[in-house]
Amino acid sequence: MISKSGLDILDFAPLLMVPKEKGSFAFPAVDMNGIGSITLMTASQEPLKLPVYFEIRLDSPTGEIIAQGVHKPGEGMQAPNMPIRMHQTSIPLTGTTDGKKHKLYFVSDAKGADLGTFILMGITFNAK
């Protein structure tokens, strides 16, 4: 695993560390038309003991909220032959879409809680 400024790489797949303070990252141009929810796949070394709040925003980390949800505490699933626990949460889209491409910001907030090693491994955009 290679680590650079919160971006980890495992077998050449980028992984994002979720910080204890509010943090964000963005996809440059996404049309959310036809999307009903977003599933976040995460991993931790220990069971997740505290909630982590996520918002999906348009065009800036403080832009219009189009989805929000809570990654709830839980044991997760032990990954075979790996020292990590896998988790996932689905966040429903609640905002409107205009059929245009927007910079899409994912904002996390652990409210200052020490999450240990908690990474975002994947994102799935689910159709309506």
CB contact at 8 A, 32 and 100: no
CB contact at 8 A, 17 and 108: no
What is the domain-level CATH number for residue 7?
A: 2.60.120.260
pLDDT tens for 73-100 read 999 998 888 888 999 999 999 987 898 9
Taking the model in full, what pTM does it have? 0.83
Q: What is the dihedral of CA 53, 69, 72, 85, to 10 degrees?
A: -80
Measured in whole angstroms, how far is the alpha carbon of residue 81 from the centre of its chain?
Answer: 24
Q: How many domains does the chain have?
A: 1
pLDDT tens for 32-62 read 999 999 999 999 999 989 999 999 999 999 9
DSSP β-bridge partners for residue 90 = 39
Residues 6+ apart with CB under 8 A from 45: 83, 84, 85, 116, 117
- The residue range of the domain holding 92 is 2-127
